[in-house]
Amino acid sequence: MIDITKNKLTVTTPNDLEFVLNREFNAPRELVFDAVSKEEHVRQWYGCTDSKLTTCEIDFRVGGAYRFVTVMKDQECPMTGVYQEIVRPERIVHTEIYDVEPYRNYPSLVTLVLEDLGGRTSYTATVRHQSKEMRDGHLNSGVEVGAGQCYDRLEAFLETQK
């Protein structure tokens, strides 16, 4: 059994519009890329510990869209976006929208970079918002705890794929 606690999520704020999520995974970069881009894989790990993924739709191509809906404590959390750039296995750029009013008109831009660490992978997601207030609202929504739980589930899934 692997100790996932050593792969701790870090969250930084390099400027007023962005925050960065970084974590290492005990899996090759190609495997991590597939785990975050293939619908059948995302269905296995996406969401917080106490949530249920009820919708997972991925059209993984530039210009293609995705839609995830998780349910937590009887509240739906719909996320959607469009893929802007895909460079297999190192980079994915997409918009991200919390698809409820008043947020659905304010997409953020997520740039995911996967760095090969020789059998391990560094996962760095930079989330760029349209204003400091939107960035801070996202940060204060519990994203650090939620992303940490989600990435722990991803790590556990990756272990089953080796």
Peptide bond into 102 cis (omega under 30): yes
pLDDT reported for residue 6: 66
Domains and CATH numbers, the chain: 8-47+86-161 (3.30.530.20)
- Cβ-based neighbours of 64, under 8 Å, separated by 6 or more: 58, 82, 83
- pLDDT of residue 31 exceeding 80, the answer is yes
Nearest to 3 by CA among 19, 26, 20: 26
Q: How far apart are CA 104 and CA 91, in angstroms?
A: 25
In the prediction, which pLDDT does 7 show? 84
CA 121 – CA 161 distance, rounded (Å)? 15
pLDDT of residue 71 exceeding 90, the answer is yes
Give pLDDT tens digits for 89-118.
Answer: 999 999 999 999 888 899 999 999 999 999
User: What residues contact 93, with CB distance under 8 A and at least 6 apart?
Assistant: 83, 84, 85, 86, 109, 110, 111, 112
Integer CA distances (angstroms), 65 to 9, 45, 70, in order: 26, 19, 17
Q: Which amino acid is at 40?
A: E
- Render pLDDT for 104-159 as a digit per residue (tens, 0 to 9): 899 999 999 999 999 999 999 999 999 999 999 999 999 999 999 999 999 999 99
Q: How far is CA 123 from CA 58, 91, 93, 111, 116, in A?
A: 20, 10, 13, 10, 9
Q: Which amino acid is at 143?
A: V
**pLDDT score recorded for residue 154:** 97
H/E stretch holding 29: helix 29-37
Q: Is the confidence at residue 3, as pLDDT, over 60?
A: no
Contact 123, 114 (CB under 8 A): yes
Q: Which residues contact 90 (CB under 8 A, 6 or more apart)?
A: 29, 33, 113, 114, 115, 116
Amino acid 2: pLDDT: 45
pLDDT in tens, 12-27: 999 999 999 999 999 9
